C-alpha cells in the first residue's frame, strides 16, 4: 500500500504579484473567470513533471540545492499548495513540520498556544489534555508554559512547535529542514522521536540539507534539481551523486574566480612588479610561475574528499645560477590555523643547483582533513629565510564530505569494541 502517490505533478509560480493576472472587469464577467492566461516569461517552474511513490512505513528523503523545489513539493503533499497540473494521492493523516509554531499567537501563553495549535493540527481537546504534560516535557518548557509566547527565545518557540506537531500522531510526517535551528541536545531528541516514528511503521517525507542524517535515516532518497527529478534510489548512492554534482559546481566557480584573479593581475602590471604585495613578495631570483593542485590521477581539481590524495605542482624558473634554495608549502584552514607546513630544508634535501625552468611536485597520499576551505602558501627561499618568491594564501581548495568529525585534521582511526559492548555497525 502506498502512502503517497505523486503523478506527473508540476507547479508553476508567477514571477511577480498576481495583480496583472486579473482580467478586466468586463471580460471577467463575460468569461466567469478572474484570471487571464500568462505569458511564459512571467512564470517560474518550481516543479516539472514529478512522479514517485512513497510506500507505507518508509522514510523518504528529498535532497537538492536551494530553489530546487523541495519545499514546494512538501507543501503540495501537505495540501497547502495545489499543483498546477498532475495528481497527488495521500493515504492517511498528514502532519507537516514546515514552519514550527507557525500558528502561535505571541500575546497569549504557551499553554493556550499548545491547545490552539494542537486543534489546528487536528487533535481533539481531550487528546491535548491527555498529552499536555508529555508535550511540555518534551519541549523542556515546564517553567515557562504560562508566560506569553512573545517572551520565548527562538529555540523555545521552535521546541514547543516541534513538540506539538510530533504529538499529533499522524500516519505521514512531513519534515522540512526544521531541525536546523535546534541546539546540540534538542536535535538528537528530535531524531530519536523520528526514529520512534519509523519503528512504529509511519511514513516520513524528510527534506534536509543535512546529508549525513538523510543517509542515516532514509530508506530511499530523491534528488531534485531545478524542479526535476535527477535520480531516485538508495540513499548512499544518491547522496554521493549529489555531492559529486555540488563538487563539480564548486570546481567551476573556483575556476572562474581563479581566472578573474589572473585577469586582475595582468591588468595592473605595475603593482604586480613592485615586489611586495600583500600575498606575494620576494625579488624573484627564482620565480614561482604556476601552482596547480591535482588529484592522484593528475586531473586538476579544487574540491577533494578527505581520503583523497593531492599533488601540488609548482612550476619555477631561475633567472641565474642559484645554489641556495628551499621549496616549501603550508596549509591553513579558514580560521587561519596552520594545519601543516613543511619544506625541503626541514626534510634535509641538500640544494645543489637550479637554473632555468623546472618543476617541483609534492604528492600527499591522503589529505585526512575535515570539511572546510583550506588556503595554501607556496614559497621558494634561501635556507636562512631570505625569500625569492613567497605566495601567501594565493591558492585554496575545499574538502567536502558527509562526516561530522571535529578538529583540525582527521587522524586515521579504527574503532573496536569488546564483546560485552553492543553497537550497531556504522553504515559507512
Partner 1 sequence: MNIIHNIRDLWKCRVLIHNLVVRELKARYRGTVLGFFWSFFNPLLLMIVYTIVFGFIIGPRDPAFGNSPILYALFLFCGVLPWTWFSSSAIESANVLMIQGNLIKKVLFPAEILPIVVVTSNFIHFLFGLPILLAAKGLIVLLIPGARPFTWHVLLIPLVMIVQFVFSLGFAFLLSALTVHFRDIKDILSNLLTFWFFATPIVYPLTFQSIQKSSFLRTFLSLNPMTHIIGGYQSSLFYGEILRWAGLGLTLLAALVFLYFGYLVFDRLRDSFPEEV
Q: Which residues pair with 354 in a beta bridge?
A: 322
Q: Which residues pair with 332 in a beta bridge?
A: 338, 375
Contact 114, 160 (CB under 8 A): yes
* Closest approach of partner 1 to the CB of residue 123, in Å: 10
Distance CA 91, CA 1 (A): 9
Q: Give whichever of 94 and 179 is closer to partner 1, judged by the CB atom.
A: 94
Contact 33, 5 (CB under 8 A): no
* Closest approach of partner 1 to the CB of residue 158, in Å: 13
Contact 166, 131 (CB under 8 A): no
Distance CA 367, CA 303 (A): 12
Distance CA 346, CA 259 (A): 33
* Closest approach of partner 1 to the CB of residue 148, in Å: 7
Contacts of 258 (CB under 8 A, 6+ apart): none
* Closest approach of partner 1 to the CB of residue 252, in Å: 32
Q: Give whichever of 71 and 373 is closer to partner 1, judged by the CB atom.
A: 71
* Closest approach of partner 1 to the CB of residue 200, in Å: 22
* Closest approach of partner 1 to the CB of residue 143, in Å: 20
Strands 387-399 and 286-294: unpaired
Q: Give whichever of 113 and 402 is closer to partner 1, judged by the CB atom.
A: 113
Q: Give whichever of 78 and 369 is closer to partner 1, judged by the CB atom.
A: 78
- Residues binding partner 1 (CB under 8 A): 13-14, 17-19, 22, 34, 75, 78-82, 94, 96, 98-99, 102-103, 105, 107-108, 112, 115-116, 119-121, 124-125, 148
Which is nearest to 367 in space by CA: 402, 405, 400, 406? 400
DSSP 60-119: EEEE--TTSSHHHHHHHHHTSS--SEEEEEE-S-EEEESSTTTT--TTSBHHHHHHHHHH
Helix, strand, coil shares of the chain, percent, nearest 5, are 30, 35, 35
* Closest approach of partner 1 to the CB of residue 116, in Å: 5
Distance CA 146, CA 138 (A): 16
Q: Give whichever of 22 and 319 is closer to partner 1, judged by the CB atom.
A: 22
* Closest approach of partner 1 to the CB of residue 74, in Å: 11
Q: Give whichever of 83 and 328 is closer to partner 1, judged by the CB atom.
A: 83
Q: Give whichever of 107 and 146 is closer to partner 1, judged by the CB atom.
A: 107
Which is nearest to 114 in space by CA: 139, 92, 94, 97? 139
Q: Give whichever of 10 and 81 is closer to partner 1, judged by the CB atom.
A: 81
| Strand, coil or helix: 305 | coil
Amino acid at each position: 500500500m502506498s502512502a503517497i502517490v505523486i503523478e506527473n505533478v508540476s507547479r508553476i509560480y508567477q514571477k511577480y504579484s498576481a495583480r496583472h493576472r486579473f482580467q478586466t472587469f468586463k471580460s471577467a464577467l463575460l468569461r466567469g473567470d478572474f484570471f487571464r492566461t500568462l505569458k511564459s516569461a512571467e512564470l517560474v517552474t518550481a516543479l516539472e513533471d514529478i512522479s514517485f511513490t512513497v510506500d507505507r512505513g518508509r522514510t523518504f528523503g528529498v535532497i537538492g540545492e536551494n530553489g530546487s523545489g523541495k519545499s514546494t513539493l512538501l507543501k503540495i503533499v501537505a495540501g497547502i499548495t495545489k499543483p498546477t497540473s498532475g495528481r497527488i494521492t495521500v493515504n492517511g493523516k498528514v502532519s507537516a513540520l514546515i514552519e514550527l509554531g507557525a500558528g502561535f499567537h505571541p500575546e497569549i501563553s504557551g499553554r493556550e498556544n499548545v491547545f490552539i495549535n494542537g486543534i489546528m493540527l487536528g487533535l481533539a481537546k481531550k487528546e491535548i489534555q491527555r498529552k499536555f504534560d508529555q508535550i511540555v516535557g518534551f519541549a523542556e518548557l515546564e517553567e515557562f508554559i504560562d508566560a506569553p509566547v512573545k517572551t520565548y527565545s527562538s529555540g523555545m518557540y521552535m521546541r514547543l512547535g516541534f513538540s506539538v506537531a510530533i504529538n499529533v500522531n499522524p500516519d505521514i510526517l512531513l519534515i522540512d529542514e526544521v531541525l536546523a535551528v535546534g541546539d546540540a541536545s534538542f536535535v538528537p531528541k528530535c531524531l530519536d522521536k523520528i526514529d520512534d516514528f519509523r519503528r512504529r511503521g509511519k511514513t516520513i517525507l524528510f527534506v534536509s540539507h543535512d546529508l549525513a542524517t538523510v543517509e542515516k535515516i532514509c530508506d530511499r532518497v530523491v534528488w531534485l534539481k531545478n524542479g526535476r527529478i535527477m535520480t531516485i534510489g538508495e540513499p548512499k548512492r544518491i547522496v554521493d551523486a549529489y555531492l559529486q554534482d555540488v563538487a563539480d559546481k564548486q570546481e567551476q566557480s573556483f575556476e572562474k574566480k581563479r581566472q578573474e584573479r589572473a585577469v586582475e593581475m595582468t591588468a595592473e602590471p605595475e603593482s604586480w612588479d613592485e615586489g611586495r604585495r600583500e600575498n606575494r613578495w620576494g625579488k624573484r631570483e627564482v620565480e614561482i610561475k604556476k601552482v596547480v593542485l591535482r588529484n592522484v590521477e593528475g586531473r586538476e581539481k579544487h574540491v577533494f574528499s578527505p581520503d583523497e590524495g593531492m599533488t601540488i605542482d609548482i612550476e619555477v624558473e631561475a633567472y641565474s645560477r642559484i645554489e641556495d634554495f628551499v621549496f616549501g608549502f603550508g596549509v591553513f584552514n579558514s580560521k587561519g590555523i596552520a594545519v601543516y607546513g613543511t619544506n625541503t630544508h626541514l626534510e634535509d634535501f641538500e640544494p645543489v643547483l637550479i637554473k632555468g625552468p623546472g618543476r617541483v611536485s609534492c604528492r600527499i597520499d591522503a589529505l585526512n582533513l575535515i570539511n572546510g576551505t583550506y588556503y595554501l602558501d607556496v614559497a621558494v627561499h634561501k635556507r636562512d629565510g631570505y625569500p625569492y618568491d613567497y605566495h601567501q594564501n594565493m591558492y585554496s581548495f575545499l574538502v567536502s564530505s558527509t562526516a561530522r568529525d571535529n578538529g583540525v585534521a582527521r587522524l586515521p582511526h579504527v574503532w573496536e569494541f569488546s564483546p560485552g559492548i553492543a553497537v550497531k555497525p556504522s553504515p559507512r
